[in-house]
A and B are shown apart, each in its own frame.
Chain A
Amino acid sequence: MAEVSRRKSRRDLNVSHHLEVNNLVKMFGGLIATNEMSFQVDEGESLGLIGPNGAGKTTIFSLIMGELRQTSGSITCFDSEISHLQTHERIQRGISRTYQVPRPFADMNVLENIRVGLMPDNIWQMIMRRPDPEREIELAQSVGFAENDFLRHPSELSIGDLRKLELARTLATDPSLMLLDEVFAGLTVAEIAQMAELINQKREAGMTMIIVSHDLKSLEPLIDRAIAMNYGAIVAEGSFADVMADEQVRATYLGDE
């Protein structure tokens, strides 16, 4: 509870938002994947993004990361426009994401996968400085890998382990804003609990987050605020309870479940 009030007071003090999206539009040919979306996330806040399949949640993440270019609209990080930046430059600004479908490096083991995330974006340093196995191990352990997993390859990992690996590689870039896409999809009950615990730790540590999940029960305790979207536009916004009470959300979302 002390955590929550600390976050609240910081939010009141800060005028600039950690991330602000304004009138964001993304068209895929004739399809409007993002339709005039505007929202903000404050520093240390955790925002839940919900909506049926195809609502445009993943597209928003790709736009924020610069993996897709918006048709129009702006994206700012602490009031500075980041739309012109390339993905790696946005990551250097502390924004990082996980993917709905984990994308590990298939011929590398767990530690080597994390190593790539830890690399500086400087070829000279890449060559001259050795990797840091202690930091690799620390990150692997922090997401719950046991020692005998370190040398495993992605083909030997469960979907839960792959999501952990994805999280570790994302954390390796030292983000202050994390975008987590369908973090609980395909996980066992035990793995969901473990993942939720991890996210909570990061939240306690002050990480700003946007979390996409279909598993509303697991999502609820991890977020401060929720946005429900459909057809690329915001349907409802507010506390989790308010959003879930919204008639439109009940119609589109709960009917879908």
Chain B
Amino acid sequence: MTGISWRHVALWAVFIIFMLLLPEMVSKGTLRTVIFANFLAIFAISWDVISGRTGYISFGHPFLIGIGAYTTAILSYRFGMPVGLSIPLAVCVTMVAGTLFFLPALRVKGSYFALVTLAFMELMYQLVQVIRPDLTGGTRGMSGVTTLARGAVNNYYLSFGLMIVIAVSMWVLMKTRFGTALSAIGMNEESVRGSGLSTTRLKLFAFMVSAMVAGLGGAFYVHYLGSIAPRALFDINFVFTIIVAVLIGGASTIVGPMLGAFFLTFLLEYLRPYLPGAERYFIYGSIALVIYMYQPKGLYEIVMQQWRKYRVVKAGET
């Protein structure tokens, strides 16, 4: 909620340079894990814009991601539309469909919002299986969807490029008074209204931004995987992964969801040999709880605290 300083810019630059050099430093296997982390970061940032800031918890983000993914997959795979056209179209469709469906949801409060969004996700899961399975691929989904890049390194650069463009633009957007207003809604919506602002309009706009990012992420994700599997996409575990990434990283920030996404992806990756099945999802709850007990504001705040401590020590030395 403070302005942008040269130190911020420098930190972003250092991070970007490090990530650009990453393929030189790590194995292809690790790089594939980072690709997933990049996509999870995109979804987490999207979720945070509406839910992390305003406190309206969405359980339906796979609905948005799914619209983006299905639209571009169907347009390009079934109708031979070039990806350069189908992806922007998919993003537009996500924003429009998301707005239409969520408009009623925005008028309800708290847990009702969560329920309504969850219902949309479930509805979408049922719909893609029943309506026009010749287009959606029904229960099995689709495979053979055009991929945009070949090999781990290229796909890594593509996913990182997308993630960093989204992260930095969202970071700049959230530094404006618009971001402040969204956070204010999360703290006390009545007072925001009492300050003369239409919170309905603010939430709707935040939702459209969130849908845009989710649509972008979903579209690129399907072109990375080359396939779409409704059961994995419209899965409550997928929603939890996104939410837990934001919460352990630090809601209402941009760096937090990124941190959380990377932390969670690598944690699950390293746990895979020991906990192969769904048990590893139990780990989510425990980790989220431990971090929450230590610092409710998440990893981002833990890092910031250490940094402030370090600054104080440094200042004491000189």
Interface set of A (CB-CB < 8 Å, partner B): 65, 67, 86-88, 91-92, 96-97, 99, 103-108, 112, 115-117, 119, 121, 123, 126-129, 131, 169-170, 172-173
- Confirm or deny: B225 has a beta carbon within 8 angstroms of a beta carbon on chain A: no
A116 and B193 contact, Cβ closer than 8 Å, known pairs A106-B187, A123-B202, A127-B173: no
Across the interface, which residues of B come within 8 angstroms of A97, CB to CB? Answer: 194
Most buried by A among B178, B194, B197, B199: B194
Q: Do the beta carbons of A126 and B193 come within 8 Å of each other?
A: no
Q: Shortest distance in angstroms between B77's beta carbon and chain A's nearest beta carbon?
A: 37
Q: Do the beta carbons of B187 and A88 come within 8 Å of each other?
A: no
Of the residues B188, B197, B205, contact of A88 by C-beta under 8 Å: B197
Q: Shortest distance in angstroms between A145's beta carbon and chain B's nearest beta carbon?
A: 18
8 contacts between A and B (CB under 8 A): A86-B198, A112-B1, A116-B181, A117-B195, A119-B196, A126-B177, A126-B181, A129-B177
Q: Do the beta carbons of B191 and A104 come within 8 Å of each other?
A: yes
Cα distance, A251 to B197, chains bound together (Å) = 43
Q: Do the beta carbons of A121 and B188 come within 8 Å of each other?
A: no
Of the residues A67, A87, A91, A119, contact of B177 by C-beta under 8 Å: A119
Q: Do the beta carbons of A91 and B187 come within 8 Å of each other?
A: no
Q: Do the beta carbons of B187 and A121 come within 8 Å of each other?
A: no
Cα distance, A121 to B184, chains bound together (Å) = 14
Cα distance, A115 to B1, chains bound together (Å) = 11
Q: Do the beta carbons of B176 and A127 come within 8 Å of each other?
A: yes
Cα distance, A115 to B173, chains bound together (Å) = 17
- Confirm or deny: B201 has a beta carbon within 8 angstroms of a beta carbon on chain A: yes
- Confirm or deny: B152 has a beta carbon within 8 angstroms of a beta carbon on chain A: no
Across the interface, which residues of A come within 8 angstroms of B199, CB to CB? Answer: 88
Q: Shortest distance in angstroms between A239's beta carbon and chain B's nearest beta carbon?
A: 32
Across the interface, which residues of B come within 8 angstroms of A127, CB to CB? Answer: 173, 176-178
A131 and B196 contact, Cβ closer than 8 Å, known pairs A104-B188, A123-B205: no
Q: Do the beta carbons of B195 and A169 come within 8 Å of each other?
A: yes
Q: Do the beta carbons of A119 and B197 come within 8 Å of each other?
A: yes
Q: Which residue of B lies closest to A154 (CB)?
A: B187
Q: Do the beta carbons of A126 and B198 come within 8 Å of each other?
A: no
Q: Do the beta carbons of B180 and A121 come within 8 Å of each other?
A: no
Interface set of B (CB-CB < 8 Å, partner A): 1, 173, 176-178, 180-181, 183-184, 187-188, 190-199, 201-202, 205
Q: Shortest distance in angstroms between B295's beta carbon and chain A's nearest beta carbon?
A: 14
Of the residues A103, A112, A123, contact of B178 by C-beta under 8 Å: A123
Cα distance, A115 to B176, chains bound together (Å) = 11
A108 and B184 contact, Cβ closer than 8 Å, known pairs A119-B177, A123-B201: yes
Across the interface, which residues of B come within 8 angstroms of A87, CB to CB? Answer: 193-194
Q: Shortest distance in angstroms between A211's beta carbon and chain B's nearest beta carbon?
A: 18
Cα distance, A121 to B193, chains bound together (Å) = 10
Q: Shortest distance in angstroms between B95's beta carbon and chain A's nearest beta carbon?
A: 15
Across the interface, which residues of B come within 8 angstroms of A128, CB to CB? Answer: 176
A67 and B190 contact, Cβ closer than 8 Å, known pairs A108-B1, A123-B178, A123-B205: yes
Across the interface, which residues of B come within 8 angstroms of A91, CB to CB? Answer: 194-196
Q: Do the beta carbons of A105 and B198 come within 8 Å of each other?
A: no
A107 and B187 contact, Cβ closer than 8 Å, known pairs A88-B197, A92-B196, A121-B198: yes
Cα distance, A127 to B206, chains bound together (Å) = 12
Q: Shortest distance in angstroms between A124's beta carbon and chain B's nearest beta carbon?
A: 9
Q: Which residue of A lies closest to B183 (CB)?
A: A107
Q: Do the beta carbons of A103 and B190 come within 8 Å of each other?
A: yes
Q: Do the beta carbons of A131 and B195 come within 8 Å of each other?
A: no
